Structure 1
């Protein structure tokens, strides 16, 4: 990915970055998170736990600062993400923070993400 694409995508509103996330994750069949002995987490405005996920390594690496200093970008195979991660997160009441950029992120329900991924994967 070149710097121009990185910069322009990073500045998009959360909803558009979510659409980009769906397309890139379906295309590359992997999701990226931040890991340092445990996965990076955040909390929403009511204190519910969120795990941030990214469409590409470069976007994850950019967020490895401040509270996530020392975290490394780590990939998760799409099948593992769908079959294991999402089921476990739903069971534990953990929400998804999709492609955060600063404080701006798309917080989506697991069922919505699954539906959107399935719809996108039908195009392949």
Structure 2
């Protein structure tokens, strides 16, 4: 489902914790996660030098950041299962945090890979208990 401009703007303007909640619910719903790629995945750095792997719930949100901060990068999707079983464990092992739902100029929600995995697991279980499917 494509996201219209009004919805895109409304969600981008949400405070970090609400964007994080939107991310978890949307990714559990669609089974797809987005990041940015150009001869390698886009990375950011926290002020202390810790690397951050940015993630978005839809390509449109990733494209906004590509346009403003990662010129030349393009949205690239991967399956939620790949995120949970491969990427998050690897990021945790490498000491890289996740940057959930960056917006231009903001570095808001950066949970550990373990916390993000737990929150996604909880949402997937909740959806299963309510009979919802991705």
**Short-chain TM bin:** over 0.9
Asked whether 1:42 is paired with 2:44, we answer yes
Q: What pairs with 1:1-124 in structure 2 (closer than 5 Å)?
A: 1-104=3-106, 105-122=108-125, 123-124=127-128
Compare the two structures and name the one with the higher strand fraction: 1
Q: Which moved more, 1:31-40 or 1:97-106?
A: 97-106
Tell me the CA shift for residue 65 of structure 1: 3.0
Cα distance in structure 2, aligned partners of 1:110 and 1:92: 10
Superposed CA RMSD in Å reads 1.0
> Which segments of 5 or more consecutive residues in structure 1 lack a partner in the other structure?
none
> Which segments of 5 or more consecutive residues in structure 2 lack a partner in the other structure?
129-134
Once superposed, which parts of structure 1, at least 4 consecutive aligned residues long, lie more than 6 Å away?
Answer: none
Tell me the CA shift for residue 102 of structure 1: 2.0
